A and B are shown apart, each in its own frame.
Chain A
Amino acid sequence: MASSVRLAIVKLIRDDIDADPEGFWGDIEFPDNEHVYHRSAPQDVDFPMVIVARQAGAPMYSFGTGPSCFFENDLWTIKGVDRGLSSEKAEFIDERLFTILQDQELDLSGMDPPRETMWFRREEAVDYGEREEGAVIHHVGAMYRLFTEAA
């Protein structure tokens, strides 16, 4: 199930990057056509990038049995990552991610059985840095809560 959700999230982000309706991503200058990675980036990939990972998740059961008897309750960490002295670019990415993800309906029709988005909403900021060879890698993003129900 998580893979369908991840693909839906990544599709939202990639679609926005490709269309770039507000000319936002052009300023970011992604180094390749991938941009968005799951859990971590491959070795030797240039910055900046977007990393998507499932942070936590547990079903909330209701009455009955089968796929309609629970709500999927997931937390996804979605963050912009950049290397350098300033976290500005990572923060820009985070702001744009908020704009394109907040309260969006994810396309989960491919799930078996299909599910529908109840809500997808930013919940908690994630902001930290790691040091690498004298430079700082900035991670700026947020955890988004996804609630789904059976379609």
Chain B
Amino acid sequence: MPQVLDPDKLLGGADKPGMQPRFPAGAGMLAGTFTSETALRQTGYGYVAIRYQSRFPGIIGSLTLREAIVEKETAEEILEDAKQRAPVWEGEPYFDDYGHHPGILRDSLYLDQVEGGWTVATDVHYAPFVEFGTVNMDAQPFLIPAAEEHRESFIAKMALSLQRL
């Protein structure tokens, strides 16, 4: 049986703590909108309060979170893959005064959070020469093949993640 409420007490009572719609933590803030509505409907038992509550803010919040998780996971996989592919000097190990040592390109790769996602970055100035080659040196691509390798799995993971909403 629906809960019978006194309309005089109910009118304007949507601000009471008991009438606040429940949202997943942070969802209202993430979605930026807050959609709920309390209406009174007259039935044979008197006035009944019906609260309409949109799941949309919760879905948006969950969507954002799931996207972020898949993006971060994939970025970490690409980083590891790129480190595996980055060429490393295989001759006699050397260490000079400038901090150069075998594997400096591989060790310099890191994840950088940018607007809209993540990027695998390096501050080594010759990284483009290794990735794309120079006039007299063949390219040894390590970053783009790593990103390409995970392109399909990223799309599949994202699709699977969204299906679970």
Contact = CB atoms under 8 A, between A and B. Distances in A.
Interface residues of A, dominant DSSP: strand
A10 interface: no
Given A39-B139, A55-B141, A126 B134 contact: no
A58 B149 contact: yes
Interface residues of B, number: 17
Nearest to B143: A56
A109 to B, nearest CB: 26
A137 interface: yes
B5 interface: no
Interface in B123-156: 128-129, 132-139, 141, 144-145, 147-149, 152
Given A56-B148, A60-B152, A137 B139 contact: no
Contact of A130 (B135, B138, B139, B148): B135
Interface of B: 128-129, 132-139, 141, 144-145, 147-149, 152
List of 8 A-B pairs having minimum Cβ-Cβ separation, nearest first: A56-B145, A56-B148, A39-B138, A128-B128, A56-B144, A130-B134, A40-B138, A55-B141
29 contacts: A39-B139, A40-B133, A40-B134, A40-B135, A40-B136, A41-B136, A43-B136, A51-B135, A53-B132, A53-B133, A53-B138, A55-B132, A55-B139, A55-B141, A55-B144, A55-B145, A56-B149, A58-B149, A73-B148, A75-B144, A75-B148, A77-B139, A81-B135, A126-B132, A128-B129, A128-B132, A130-B135, A132-B135, A139-B132
